[in-house]
Amino acid sequence: MSPLPEHTYQKIEMLLVPVFNYTFSAEGCDYVEEGLGCLNLVLYNQQTISAAMWFYYPLLVYILVGLPSNQNVAQLCAAKGLSDEQSRCLEDCSDAWGTDHLEMMLGCLKNYIQKGGSGFFQNTDLFGQTFYALLDQAVQRIYAIGNNSDTDYDMLVATTLYTAVIENFPQGQLDPILPSIISVAYQQGILAPKTKKLSALCIQVIAMALHHNVHLVADLLVSKNLLHDYLQHWSKLLTSFNKDFDKMRILYGLVSLLKLDQSTLPPGVAENMPAMIKELVKLTSEILELREEEDSEGSEAQEMNELENEKEIQRTLNKLDKYGKLGKDPKDEENDSDFDMEDFQEDHANQYYNSPLEEKDEILYF
């Protein structure tokens, strides 16, 4: 979709704010996924996010985790000059009610991360929590729920939020939070993995952290005697990295290790470097094969995606209008975007989010 003038987006937002306030409330929660679809398109198609749209970032997190306890929400809302509709949305989140909608939130959350800049770590919500701290709370809650459920699906979705953080900020800006991200990824991916798929994704998180700041992360892993185990698990899961982004992240992370003075690495790691380089060469060949396949299918898919992007907001608004007129519950209709919950496909979840990795060439980096 071609970018629209800024004033056009402002008019669109004015029309959609009442829709968002309704669909993200207890009264309109049956329509929450329609609202999320519209919000994601608004965020995706703008270079910067307006103050009106930033209101919904902490709100989405509260829908997942609930509000902090012992807070006078009404008083805080009045002090911030929020509307009655916004206040009602917040008050409805006293208890988390929307973890089932995490997948539909993913694009919104990633676009907030990508376009938030340094403010993502500096701006705070009504209760003084930074926007990143809110995101971390959401991931931790999803992990806690997932560890006690029969599926790892939401845990996979939540883990990609960590990769979105790492890939969207320059070196140095994430140094204070990288140790905690690595700790979580190591615990969930290596020490106590729920599934092989989750383990493979957590290994990618650590690989991206290595790429972001190889000296800091390698020193951390070496100091805790974790680097050798990390590479061992990577080797065991080679066949699990079967998507373009999977291979890309692993390549960036492990190639970054080659920047280090090899004499500083633990003996077991240094001795295995030649074998690792051989696997990385093989990985580049696999990436090139995937590119050729994608190029052959790319032109037709791009044309279809652009058409779908242009129609999505109108289709969503039409559905809202239809449900409103018929008094019909949208949960009674099959969601067209449903797919096998056990078959996590990150490219599906990233439909309206552009990863910065798409603008780089990992082969040249190698």
Sign of CA dihedral 67, 161, 99, 143: negative
Average pLDDT over residues 145-174: 94
Instruction: Provide the 10 A C-beta neighbour count for residue 194.
Output: 17
Identify which has the larger pLDDT, 363 or 152. Answer: 152
Chain segment 218-272, per-residue pLDDT in tens: 999 999 999 989 999 998 898 888 888 898 899 999 889 888 888 888 877 888 7
Measure the CA–CA gap between 235 and 22, rounded to whole angstroms. Answer: 49
Does pLDDT of 109 surpass 80? yes
Identify which has the larger pLDDT, 206 or 352. Answer: 206
Does pLDDT of 212 surpass 80? yes
Chain segment 51-89, per-residue pLDDT in tens: 999 999 999 999 999 999 888 999 999 999 999 999 999
Identity at 109, one-letter amino acid code:
L
Q: What is the pTM of this model?
A: 0.84
Q: Longest Cα pair distance anywhere in the chain, in angstroms?
A: 71
Alpha carbon of 323 to those of 223, 273, 280, 333: distances in Å? 58, 60, 52, 10
Alpha carbon of 233 to those of 198, 204, 240, 312: distances in Å? 12, 11, 11, 41
